[in-house]
Amino acid sequence: MSLSKNDLGITSMNDLVDWTGSYMHFKQALEMAAWKRGEALSYLDAFPAFRDRFKKELIKQRHLEARLPKAMRDKIAANKPNLKLVETILFEHNKTPLM
């Protein structure tokens, strides 16, 4: 499967999976790549332990951000636009609310 344009310079899903040697790589890829739904699902499914850890971190982050003014929350979201689809997939798949 070929990947959408990304700042990592990786062009195939196999190369991305091979490149992902740690949770930090996993998180970086999720934040930097402009995902299509199928790509994101394949990548998340390739690393179930990292996926679960990332989901837990997102829940904690959303709880902390909920206390911030809306303008600050919007600015944080704007800095990581590629995560919107990933969040949607993670939380609709298991019907787990963000907060």
Q: How many helices (H) and strands (E) does the chain have?
A: 6, 0
Write out pLDDT tens, residues 24-37. 999 999 988 888 99
Predicted confidence at residue 67, as pLDDT, reads: 94
How far apart are the C-alpha atoms of 41 and 59, rounded to whole Å?
19
Listed in sequence order, the residues at least 6 apart from 67 whose beta carbon sits closer than 8 Å to its beta carbon are: none
Predicted confidence (pLDDT) at residue 99 exceeds the cutoff of 80: no
Give the separation between CA 37 and CA 85, rounded to whole angstroms. Answer: 7
Q: What is the pLDDT of residues 1-19, one digit of tens each?
A: 557 667 778 888 899 999 9
Give pTM, 2 decimals.
Answer: 0.80
Instruction: Read off the pLDDT of residues 40-97 as tens digits, 9 standing for 90 and up.
Output: 999 999 999 999 999 999 999 999 999 999 999 999 888 888 898 999 999 885 554 4
Contacts 24+ apart (CB under 8 A), 14-20: 16/43, 17/43, 17/46, 20/46, 20/47, 20/50
Euclidean distance between CA atoms 84 and 2, whole angstroms: 21
Going from N- to C-terminal start, the domains of the chain cover 13-93
